Chains A and B, each alone.
Chain A
Amino acid sequence: MTASGISVRDLSMSYDGVPILERVSIDIAFGTFCTIVGASGCGKSTFLRLLLGQERPSGGMILLDDAPIPHEPTPERGIVFQRYSIFPHLTVRENLLMAADFQGSPFLGRIFGARRRAAREAADALLEKVGLTAAADRYPAQLSGGMQQRVAIAQALTMKPKVLLMDEPFGALDPGVRADMQSLILEIWREQDMTVFMVTHDLQEAFRLGTRLIAFDKVRVDPQFPNAYGARITYDLPIDDVTEPPMDPDAGLALPDNRAEGAEIAC
């Protein structure tokens, strides 16, 4: 029972009778950088959507600071998706002004005058932090994938969320760009007081960034009926050294032999 942080109790989720997650329970302390790995279809993204409140769990609950999270997205939980995270009809700077617009003007959805100038300054400061000052007046379609994700991260930060959720945010980026983005997100996480959940396919990335790594996998597999059981958390590793990945990250997470091959198919 944490005083502050996220507590997941007996969470389960199924779609049309097919269980995806089974009785997942975990406590995550405030300020953790939690990376989430697992085979495709093993419920990583589902877990993230439940944390976001985008979907309602079939059972169990999620507590944020000891209060159940609302079943819809709220400003205290920011999100960065792999794609479609930023508004295509707005320039980069306008994207970062949206939060201030929403807070400051319930009916017009747009603030003016001195308040807008103040918001603009804050937005420009954020843009400088993520290295996008030169692109402030460009539209998302004119930016590279890495730049778009920088905007998405900066935009999520405009609300100063307690929890930042990221669903494979760097999955579509080139390796070099990805390394830059990893450094950027680490830097931001250290500066801002927040808990980060990041789903990734890349084990190296999971070890490099996370202070805690959780892996989703199916504990029980019925070979005749692969969808019979949902996934649970199979590994929960605290990572002490956040900068250096272990020599062989895959070894630490190798699946038990009898399921090593079947896992991908099962999930």
Chain B
Amino acid sequence: MRLINQKISRPAHVALAALPFVLAIIAYTVASDLRLQANPADKLLPSFASMADAFWRMAAEPDRRSGDILLWGDTAASLARLCIGVGISTGLAVVLGIPIGLIPVARSSLSSFVSTLSLIPPITVLPVLFIMVGLGELSKISLIVFGTAPVMIRTIALAVAELPKELLIKAQTLGASTWQIILRVVLPQILPRVVVAIRLGLVPAWIFLISAEAIASTEGLGYRIFLVRRYLAMDIILPYVAWITVIAVVLDRGLLMLSRKSFRWAHLGDDAEGGRL
């Protein structure tokens, strides 16, 4: 049978999906063991036990200097920045993306501008932000917005423009005004695409969050990683990276589940078999 015609059963799918993770963990363990055998004080590839120790220290024991539990403080600070930033971007994407995709005068006046904005490398704006709004929260959140909003606006505008013309005409023959079309036809139909835009926007949002925190911050996941880098504290850095990944995965899957639950009509055609992209 040709490979493209194989059907993967559910248990086989789970096993195959787990395989690369297991292989990566085994490879790391072996490499770490080899290095620690040669030099027990090696800091580069710490054992899982020492990483668990360090992570526990960060997650459960108060910091000796400040008395705070660092992991939770860092996580709360980073998540707040991320959520506010991506939230503002999402609002902009809906408020600007729908008119750009639907209304000719908005498209003419805004679409080139937004396209140009989206091509400015966001990280080059960071010094400008630092100078203009200072080193506080505003500059970090602004960077996330600047880095994600233009692309999200374009994604939504494109989704609106791709709606079948027939539906917009049908709504007009049923007596709908432009506003009613936006509210009852366009907005509900692109909400699943808004969720997709958020999921895709979170990827660059993390990059800009960590970058901004690395450069100027006093707490946050990115700040911590770059702080302990000075001591080669891989036993903290690696669990932190894993922790960030876990949060990112939970956010992504959570949004997907929210979409499936809230917009059942949009997922009726989804292929349930063989995993999801």
Contact = CB atoms under 8 A, between A and B. Distances in A.
A99 B174 contact: yes
A40 B184 CA distance: 35
B12 to A, nearest CB: 29
Interface in A142-166: 142, 155-156, 158-159, 161
Contacts of A88: 189, 265-266
A225 to B, nearest CB: 30
B180 interface: yes
A73 B173 contact: yes
A87 to B, nearest CB: 6
Contact of B184 (A75, A109, A158): A109
Given A98-B176, A102-B184, A142-B268, 12 more contacts: A73-B173, A75-B175, A77-B173, A78-B173, A79-B170, A86-B170, A89-B266, A98-B184, A102-B177, A140-B265, A155-B170, A159-B175
B229 interface: no
30 contacts: A52-B169, A52-B173, A75-B174, A79-B173, A81-B166, A83-B164, A84-B164, A84-B166, A87-B167, A87-B170, A87-B171, A88-B265, A89-B189, A89-B266, A90-B188, A90-B265, A98-B176, A99-B174, A101-B184, A102-B177, A102-B180, A102-B184, A103-B175, A109-B180, A110-B184, A140-B265, A141-B269, A156-B173, A158-B174, A159-B173
B249 interface: no
Contacts, number: 86
B21 interface: no
Interface residues of B, number: 25
Interface in B60-102: none
Nearest to B263: A89
Q: Taking each of B171, B176, B266, B269, which has the highest tally of chain A beta carbons within 10 Å of its own beta carbon?
A: B176
A101 B171 CA distance: 11
Nearest to A103: B175
A15 interface: no
B10 interface: no
Contact of A139 (B171, B172, B180, B268): B268
A106 B177 contact: yes
Q: Taking each of B172, B173, B183, which has the highest tally of chain A beta carbons within 10 Å of its own beta carbon?
A: B173
Contacts of A85: 166, 170
A174 B263 CA distance: 30
Interface string A89-108: 11000000011011100111
Q: Taking each of B166, B170, B177, which has the highest tally of chain A beta carbons within 10 Å of its own beta carbon?
A: B170
A130 B272 CA distance: 33
A54 B175 CA distance: 14
Contacts of B269: 141
A107 B170 contact: no
